Amino acid sequence: MAPAVDNEFRGARRHLVELLQEQGIRDLAVLHAIDEVPRHRFIPTGVRHRAYEDSPLPIGSGQTISQPMIHARYLELLHLSGKEKVLEIGTGSGYQTALLARMAAQVFSIERIAALLDRARDVLGEIGVRNVSFLLGDGTLGWRQYGPYDAILVSAAAPSVPPAYTEQLAEGGRLLIPLGVRDEQMLTVITRRGDALEQVEAGPVRFVPLLGKESWES
């Protein structure tokens, strides 16, 4: 822990929360989580000074942490109450994992790159997050053992919905996934209503590719 550094970033984080609020984020639970989670701890030291800008940043292994506005939108669309079991595909830096851990009961997070998963696990441990289970592997297959999930968040883009996600989605559960081509996708919200799947488009996004058996080839 580095309390001096953490305090140094406190003002910058407040500004970010105000910016997100000005840009239309209304959900207080989302704003509160962003205010509480030290984003700089999840950012490599070389770009850490930019941790509270509203922009995506490189996290190593050719991957990026999304811009805070995207995390805020994602979380708003999920309408979490605190009781949910959540599946996250693409742990990356672990920042979104930390936000989810504050807003839901249990988080299951899958990442295919060992170096990223190890680092995310360490940082989450250091900041005292305990309700997350990690899996190193191909997230296009989901994580059947602990399903069904009340929410499934896919942090990488796919050409179509991998079947495991809708299979592992609980009644009333929501799946958020960017669908499209490599350079541009539509953030898609899929809700399970019995045997039916309701699908809504939530706006254009641009994510790194989801690579695996049920998506693009790695």
Beta carbon of residue 22, minimum distance to ligand SAH (angstroms, whole number) = 22
- Residue 125 or 172 with smaller CB distance to ligand SAH: 125
Per-residue three-class SS string for 9-46: CHHHHHHHHHHHHHCCCCCHHHHHHHHHCCHHHHCCHH
Q: Shortest Cβ distance from residue 132 to ligand SAH (Å)?
A: 13
- The pair of structure tokens assigned to 218 is 């790695």
β-bridge pairing 169-180 and 106-111 = unpaired
Give all strands (DSSP E) within the chain, no chain letters.
57-60, 63-65, 85-89, 106-111, 132-136, 149-154, 169-180, 185-193, 196-205
Instruction: Report helix, strand or coil for 164.
Output: helix
Q: How far is the CB of 128 from ligand SAH (least distance, A)?
A: 19
Residue 88, both tokens: 């996250």
Between 140 and 188, CB nearer to ligand SAH: 140
What residue type is assigned to position 172 of the chain?
G
Helix H or strand E segment including 215: none
Q: Max alpha carbon distance in the chain (Å)?
A: 52
Q: How far is the CB of 63 from ligand SAH (least distance, A)?
A: 4
How distant, in Å, are the alpha carbons of 103, 140, 208 from that of 160?
A: 28, 11, 15
Catalytic residue among 55, 66, 109, 155: 66
Residue 37 binding ligand SAH, by CB under 6 A: no
187: which strand partners?
Answer: 178
C-alpha span between 98 and 128 (Å, rounded): 10
Q: List the interface residues with ligand SAH, window 50-79 (CB under 6 A).
A: 59, 63-66
Residue 212 interacts with ligand SAH (CB under 6 A): yes or no: yes
Does residue 116 belong to the site contacting ligand SAH (CB under 6 A)? yes
Nearer to ligand SAH, 9 or 165 (CB): 165
Would you call 109 a catalytic residue per the annotation?
A: no
Of the candidates 71, 14, 45, the one whose C-alpha atom is nearest the C-alpha of residue 123 is 45
Q: Which stretch binds ligand SAH (CB under 6 A): 84-92, 124-132, 177-185, 197-205?
A: 84-92
What is the nearest approach in angstroms of ligand SAH to the Cβ of residue 196? 27
Per-residue contact string for residues 150-169; x = within reach of ligand SAH by CB under 6 A: -----xx-------------
Site string for ligand SAH, 122-151 (x = CB under 6 A): ----------------xxx-----------
Please give the residue ranges that form the binding site for ligand SAH (CB under 6 A): 59, 63-66, 89-90, 92-93, 95-96, 110-113, 116, 138-140, 155-156, 208, 210-212
